[in-house]
């Protein structure tokens, strides 16, 4: 089945850029997503990218997709303390209604 991997932790200083990485095994997804989860809350959609694109920019967020290497990344520019959260990558699964989630990366922003 589909396997989606993320590093568990990332720590950055306020004002620096953060890069959160995601690798996956199945290349049949149409869209790939990034979600943010704050403590005790549900997941909030941050951004997404169509599988035929290799980059998408949305204000402080930049998504890079390398289909050849099956690698997705989320770059957060000028990281703020409010960005501290868990970040999940997710993929839709072609031909089904299901989504596959990564293990989540806990981002800690140091003041």
CB of 38 to other proteins, least distance (A): 10
CB of 103 to other proteins, least distance (A): 4
Give contact residues for other proteins (rule: CB under 8 A): 4, 8, 30-31, 33, 35, 40-45, 48, 50, 88, 90, 92, 97-99, 101-104
Nearer to other proteins, 44 or 81 (CB): 44
C-alpha 85/C-alpha 102 separation (Å) is: 15
Coil, strand, or helix at residue 1?
A: coil
Which tokens sit at 31?
């869209």
Nearer to other proteins, 41 or 77 (CB): 41
C-alpha 36/C-alpha 79 separation (Å) is: 14
Residue 6 contacts residue 103 (beta carbons within 8 Å) = yes
CB of 62 to other proteins, least distance (A): 19
């Amino acid at each position: 089945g589909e396997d989606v991997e993320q590093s568990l932790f990332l720590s950055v200083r306020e004002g620096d850029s953060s890069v959160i990485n995601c690798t996956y095994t199945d290349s049949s997804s149409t869209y790939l997503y990034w979600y943010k989860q704050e403590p005790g809350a549900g997941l909030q959609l941050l951004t997404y990218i169509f599988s035929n694109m290799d980059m998408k920019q949305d204000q402080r967020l930049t998504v890079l997709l390398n289909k050849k290497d099956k690698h997705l990344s989320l770059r957060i520019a000028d990281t703020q303390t409010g960005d501290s959260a868990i970040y999940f990558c997710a993929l839709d699964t072609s031909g089904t209604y299901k989504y596959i989630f990564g293990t989540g990366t806990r981002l800690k922003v140091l003041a």
